[in-house]
Chain A
Amino acid sequence: MGLRAFIIRRLLLLIPTLIGVTLLIFAVIQFFSPMQRVALFVGQSPKELGSFELLIQKYHLNEPIYIQYVTWITEVLKGNLGWSKSINRPVTQIIVERAPTTAEITIFSAPVIILLGIWLGVKSAVHRDKMFDHLSRVVAIIGWSLPTFWFGIILISIFHVGLGWFPTGRLGEAANSFVHSDAFIRYTGLNTIDGLLNGQIWITLDALRHLVLPVVTLTVVIIALIIRVMRSSMLEALNKGYIVTARAKGLTQNEVINKHARRNALIPVVTVSGMLAAGMLTGLVITEYIFNIPGIGMWAANAAIAIDVPAVLGFTIFSAVIFVVANLIVDVLYAYIDPRIRLG
């Protein structure tokens, strides 16, 4: 069938999935009080609007459920996710504004988690039951058992409060005021890259220093997942017939492992990467909150604490969309690696 047809099919499947997701969120919305539900539609500060009854009329909240759903979905598709009272700005705007901050942490964590995890998993499988294997499994299990919030606090206490090596927050004071001044052009919104593009290396370095602890926190907690799956799927792959064939052809041990076993072993890892996206989203909420990084995660955490309904729901929708898209990418990668899937 080919990769292209598979991608198209998968993209078409996206629509019903997203509809299902919105239906689910809509079901959750029904649990809220009418006042809270009105806040979902209001795209401006509620003080500026008319009376409560008018609003209920305007957004059809008295009408049958399916009309309510349609009204809500239309608003969502128009980009109106309500008003976040904890920050006093429209939800959609907050998400757009804060996306680069969260993206920055993700861009630095995800590759480390994936590549380091794969490498550790492969090596553990190849040197099964030897010292390296035991060590990496212990590290993996410890990481998986660590509460993100606790581990972050410990890192802050040791490396920031104690040693002063790595700070919290996104940028130091001087860097922060410079970045917000007119002298600095924000091309991407990512301080590390913008620093380079503006020729101000010190900004990049400062941003990187601030990224170390959050990235380490996220990585240690999530990498266990990748290591575990990679290791077990690698062990399975090494047991297969084509490994004997490869050896019988005269290939070196490295070629056998990296060319033949690893590609097959990556398949379950790719599948699990979907869970990786989920883990990262959850981890980001806690990590940004603890390290005071003004991204989407911190906003969500504060919103939860303040019971800011539209914000929490807006964040849920946002996460769901990200997750669905991530799974799409994962599925396509899967089909790219494993030709058997393309027949569908």
Chain B
Amino acid sequence: MAKDLLEIEDLVVKFYTYEGVVEAIDGVNLKLKEGETLGLVGETGCGKSVTSLSVMVLIPSPGRIEDGKVFYKTSKGNFDLLKQEDAVLRGIRGEDISMIFQDPRSALNPVYTVAEQIGEVFMHHRREELCKRALEGIEQESSKRSALGFIYKLEKKIYERMLKNPNSLSIKMLSRIPIINRYQNRLKNEVIKDVVKVLGVMKIPDPERVADMYPHELSGGMAQRVVIAMALGCNPGLLIADEPTTNLDVTVQAQILELIRELKGKFESSVLYITHDLGVVAELCDRVAVMYAGCVCELADVTEIFKNPLHPYAQALLESIPRPGKEFKSIKGEVPALINPPAGCRFHPRCPNATELCVEQKPKFLEVEKDHFVMCHLYSTGS
């Protein structure tokens, strides 16, 4: 049976701004199993991106993660990411958990080539393997040409040093001296090989040429593929996709979705897919979490959500999907500002079933049916 890969418990995130304290996330609960694609749906501003950034512990100031636990399962056990040291987190980011973003062009640094940016992930997380390959290359070449033997010996020494002590000061100094630091070319060539390989997996035509290009030379779809390549390069267990197709043309959207589906199978990763598009959710996801105003109000299998939504917001959301022949329905009221959010259940001002309890008390996130969680007083015991 697939085990839980990621579990978020009662996450609370606040932003301390000039206008006041924005209670962006107040009680997010999620469970993601291995190999599963979990869709995180909600309107703009409901806190989906903040949730995803919290998983990677990348909330920028003036934001602060105030409470909650984010459990992630690695080969070494189950950790609460919020309590880890920065060094540990840096090892996890890019290697165990990766992220792809909404606007691929702004996610890429305009002054570096594709190869340099994708290569960064490899250099950071796969340094040992790359050094070993470099050493093998040195062995091969030096056995063929004995003339420049001492250069090879020197290179070998440098790489062995890098292998043993990646942070050694002497290596850092050597890497800055203009002609001597040519030794890095060997490493860079290995990296480029990997970059071209992963670009090929992304179905990018002519990957060697693309590797040398700058982000502004890429089309939107290409840029997104590069971003995905960067994220999947080190085969992460969890891929967080924050609305990756929102900024793309519809045709390109379909291609990227297809790509993600394929890659999921190939790389065997789990995906946390954030979107506001229910159609994409229906196509791509195994389970769905519905968010509203900083809380996850319902979490269930995708077919369950569409057939049997329990939370009033989820119900209203599905009702409002435009269908030919059906009258156009919207949810009355407005999404609340999160500086002074409504007390109790945040949906109560717009909920047709609101009771006094809903105004006073925040409901708990409970398993109402098998694997079907709801945060609503209607389903807590006694109602």
Shortest Cβ gap from B315 to chain A (Å): 35
Interface of chain A residues 158 through 192 with chain B (CB within 8 A): none
The chain B residue with its CB closest to the CB of A342 is B214
Binary interface encoding of chain A residues 240-256 relative to chain B, with 1 for a CB under 8 A from any of its CBs, else 0 = 11101111111110000
Decide if A251 touches B120 in the complex (CB within 8 Å). yes
Decide if B109 touches A252 in the complex (CB within 8 Å). no
Shortest Cβ gap from B137 to chain A (Å): 26
Shortest Cβ gap from A141 to chain B (Å): 24
When A339-B214, A340-B216 are in contact, do A247 and B111 touch as well, CB less than 8 Å? no
Decide if B93 touches A249 in the complex (CB within 8 Å). yes
Decide if A241 touches B107 in the complex (CB within 8 Å). yes
When A244-B58, A245-B101, A339-B214 are in contact, do A250 and B90 touch as well, CB less than 8 Å? yes
Decide if B99 touches A264 in the complex (CB within 8 Å). no
A127 adjacent to chain B (CB < 8 Å): no
Partner of A338, one of B56, B60, B101, B110: B110
The chain B residue with its CB closest to the CB of A264 is B111
Residues of A contacting B42 in the complex (Cβ-Cβ under 8 angstroms): none
Partner of B91, one of A241, A247, A250: A250
Decide if A249 touches B121 in the complex (CB within 8 Å). yes
A98 adjacent to chain B (CB < 8 Å): no
Interface of chain A residues 320 through 344 with chain B (CB within 8 A): 337-340
When A250-B94, A340-B216 are in contact, do A263 and B111 touch as well, CB less than 8 Å? yes
Decide if B125 touches A339 in the complex (CB within 8 Å). no
Complex Cα distance A281/B112, Å? 35
Decide if B92 touches A264 in the complex (CB within 8 Å). no
Decide if B124 touches A242 in the complex (CB within 8 Å). no
Shortest Cβ gap from A152 to chain B (Å): 37
Residues of B contacting A242 in the complex (Cβ-Cβ under 8 angstroms): 106-110
The count of chain B contact residues (Cβ–Cβ below 8 Å) is 30
Decide if A250 touches B124 in the complex (CB within 8 Å). yes
Decide if A247 touches B106 in the complex (CB within 8 Å). no
Interface of chain A residues 253 through 306 with chain B (CB within 8 A): 260, 263-264
Complex Cα distance A246/B90, Å? 11
Residues of A contacting B92 in the complex (Cβ-Cβ under 8 angstroms): 250
Interface of chain A residues 116 through 162 with chain B (CB within 8 A): none
Residues of B contacting A246 in the complex (Cβ-Cβ under 8 angstroms): 109, 120
Complex Cα distance A240/B108, Å? 10
Partner of A264, one of B56, B103, B110, B214: B110
The chain A residue with its CB closest to the CB of B60 is A244
Partner of B109, one of A247, A250, A264: A264
Complex Cα distance A241/B93, Å? 16
The chain B residue with its CB closest to the CB of A336 is B111
The chain B residue with its CB closest to the CB of A128 is B61
Shortest Cβ gap from A133 to chain B (Å): 15
Complex Cα distance A261/B107, Å? 13
Shortest Cβ gap from A39 to chain B (Å): 50
Binary interface encoding of chain B residues 81-98 relative to chain A, with 1 for a CB under 8 A from any of its CBs, else 0 = 000000001111111001
The A contact surface, by secondary structure, is helix
Decide if A249 touches B124 in the complex (CB within 8 Å). yes
Complex Cα distance A249/B125, Å? 9
Shortest Cβ gap from B241 to chain A (Å): 12
When A264-B111, A337-B111, A338-B110 are in contact, do A251 and B101 touch as well, CB less than 8 Å? no
The chain B residue with its CB closest to the CB of A239 is B60
The chain A residue with its CB closest to the CB of B230 is A249
Residues of B contacting A339 in the complex (Cβ-Cβ under 8 angstroms): 110-111, 214, 216
Decide if B120 touches A241 in the complex (CB within 8 Å). no
When A240-B106, A244-B58 are in contact, do A249 and B111 touch as well, CB less than 8 Å? no
Interface of chain B residues 119 through 143 with chain A (CB within 8 A): 120-121, 124-125
Shortest Cβ gap from B180 to chain A (Å): 20
Interface of chain A residues 226 through 248 with chain B (CB within 8 A): 240-242, 244-248
> Which of A264, A337, A339, A340 is packed against the most chain B CB atoms within 10 Å?
A339
When A244-B58, A339-B214, A340-B214 are in contact, do A250 and B93 touch as well, CB less than 8 Å? yes
Shortest Cβ gap from A336 to chain B (Å): 10
Complex Cα distance A340/B218, Å? 12
Complex Cα distance A249/B110, Å? 17
Partner of A247, one of B58, B95, B108, B216: B58
Shortest Cβ gap from B231 to chain A (Å): 8
When A247-B93, A249-B230, A250-B92 are in contact, do A338 and B111 touch as well, CB less than 8 Å? yes
Decide if B214 touches A248 in the complex (CB within 8 Å). no
Complex Cα distance A340/B107, Å? 16
Complex Cα distance A245/B120, Å? 11
Binary interface encoding of chain B residues 13-24 relative to chain A, with 1 for a CB under 8 A from any of its CBs, else 0 = 000000000000
Decide if B124 touches A251 in the complex (CB within 8 Å). yes
Decide if B101 touches A241 in the complex (CB within 8 Å). yes
Complex Cα distance A240/B109, Å? 9
When A250-B125, A264-B110, A337-B111 are in contact, do A241 and B58 touch as well, CB less than 8 Å? no
Shortest Cβ gap from B71 to chain A (Å): 19
Residues of B contacting A263 in the complex (Cβ-Cβ under 8 angstroms): 109, 111-112
Binary interface encoding of chain B residues 185-220 relative to chain A, with 1 for a CB under 8 A from any of its CBs, else 0 = 000000000000000000000000000001010000
Decide if B214 touches A249 in the complex (CB within 8 Å). no
When A241-B101, A340-B214 are in contact, do A248 and B110 touch as well, CB less than 8 Å? no
> Which of A240, A244, A246 is packed against the most chain B CB atoms within 10 Å?
A244
Partner of B90, one of A244, A252, A340: A252
Complex Cα distance A241/B215, Å? 13
Q: Could you list 19 A-B pairs, sorted by A, with CB under 8 Å?
A: A240-B106, A241-B101, A241-B106, A241-B107, A242-B107, A244-B58, A245-B99, A245-B107, A248-B93, A249-B93, A249-B98, A250-B90, A250-B92, A250-B93, A250-B94, A250-B121, A250-B124, A251-B90, A264-B111
The 10 A-B residue pairs with the shortest CB-CB distance in the complex, in nearest-first order: A241-B106, A250-B94, A250-B93, A242-B109, A249-B94, A250-B90, A248-B99, A339-B214, A245-B107, A241-B107
Which chain A residues have a beta carbon within 8 Å of chain B's beta carbons? 240-242, 244-252, 260, 263-264, 337-340
- Can you name 18 extra interface pairs (CB under 8 A) apart from A248-B98, A249-B124? A241-B101, A241-B106, A242-B106, A242-B110, A244-B53, A244-B107, A245-B101, A245-B227, A248-B93, A248-B99, A249-B230, A250-B89, A250-B121, A250-B124, A250-B125, A263-B109, A263-B111, A339-B110
